[in-house]
Amino acid sequence: MAGAYKTGKYRNIFKEYGYPEEEIQKRVEDTFNTIFYGNDDERFYHEAGDDMGYMEDTGNHDVRTEGMSYGMMVCVQLDKKAEFDRLWKWVRTYMYIEDGPAKNYFAWSCQTNGKRNADGPAPDGEEYFAMALFFASKRWGDGDGIFCYSKEAQNILRECVHKGEPGHSGEPMWEPSNKLIKFVTNMDFSDPSYHLPHFYELFAQRAYEEDRDFWKEAAAASRAYLHSACHEKTGLSAEYADYDGKPHTGHQEIFGRHDWYYSDAYRTIANIAMDHLWFDADPWQIKTAERLQKFYCEDQKDNWDGVFLIDGTPLDEKALHPVAIIAVNAEASLAADGKYAKQCVEKFWNTPLRTGDRRYYDNFLYMFAMLALSGNYRIY
């Protein structure tokens, strides 16, 4: 099967497995409405004043570039321009860094009133901002100022690539020597779940012309990197990994432990599945998705909320985001052709959104899986 970029066709996995179309679309809409407009124990979108809004990380009670960029991507996929523009204006008002080494990046964490908790960025926010803005430009057209979406996206990507060069102070978000995204700009290791080759393929067409070759090389570099970062038997990846793909064991005194398959890492298989859906560029992705589903459905069928080393060794911990695991295991079915694909999708369909303090991360991954599996996570 050729990727959706060439065919224009997006699989509706739910429909393939027999769910009625009306019911599928209702689930997508209900998921959005719960996250954005549900009760106080459900939603985490909040309007701010007449023309802004933010997504609250309900576990940490802050606003992060991760969540704001995710919210923008959800909105552009579902044609929710009013909410998209509210989120983007909040980002540009409170998160945009106007001077210093991180100039033109976005502060990765703010309080809900807009006061900054951080002076620097997190690269996953910038890459999602750029892609969401490019899609907004295609769906709705460019406006004025900060709502000239395509220009804003191009400017973000220019900073990510060229910082550190003459005339560009600060640190780039991609390591120039290997074209791999960094975990943070001033450290020399990566986060496998930040790797979005399906975005970089599109950046290679939409970024400023002088940057396009870089993004084409970055897409190839990320696909190759994921081969090293995902375990050959389980398909699991670490939260943080060195440039050779091995789990990163350093910096625990700063960040804590991240050499295991835990919260951040769940996104990796979802990203692999999306790259397969959009571009179908790497047959390895199919086998990796199947290995991960086998690991959960066969090897750990009663331990989906466990925590593991990437070789599958169980640890004496419980997952902080168990609903996220169910969501990404289902999203893997966009790539997996094995016998567990349907089982993972059914488990997800029968799982409700999470409520309570930790719902933010789980429910964002739930929303993305719902979009992807219903054929509603598209290139614009």
Contacts 24+ apart (CB under 8 A), 204-213: 206/134, 206/150, 206/153, 206/154, 207/153, 207/154, 207/157, 207/158, 208/154, 208/157, 208/158, 211/157, 211/158, 211/161, 211/162
Does residue 264 carry a catalytic annotation? yes
Instruction: Determine which one of 57, 62, 66, 362 is catalytic.
Output: 66
Does residue 290 carry a catalytic annotation? no
- 3-class secondary structure, 311: coil
- Those residues whose C-beta lies under 8 Å from the C-beta of residue 333, and which sit 6 or more positions away, are 13, 273, 289, 293, 341, 342, 344, 345, 373
Instruction: Determine which one of 57, 211, 242, 264 is catalytic.
Output: 264
**In this structure, how many other beta carbons lie within 10 angstroms of the beta carbon of residue 32?**
21
Q: Provide the token pair at 355.
A: 């409520």
Kindly give the residue spans of alpha helices, DSSP state H, lying in 2-117.
4-7, 13-16, 21-37, 65-77, 81-90
With CA atoms as reference, report the closest residue to 73 among 95, 58, 91.
Answer: 91
Question: Which amino acid does the sequence have at 228?
Answer: S
* Alpha-carbon Rg for the chain in angstroms: 19
Pairing of strands 63-64, 52-55: unpaired
Contacts 24+ apart (CB under 8 A), 220-223: 220/179, 221/178, 221/179, 221/180, 222/179, 222/180, 222/181, 222/195, 222/196, 222/197, 223/197, 223/275, 223/281, 223/282
Supply the residues annotated as catalytic. 66, 264
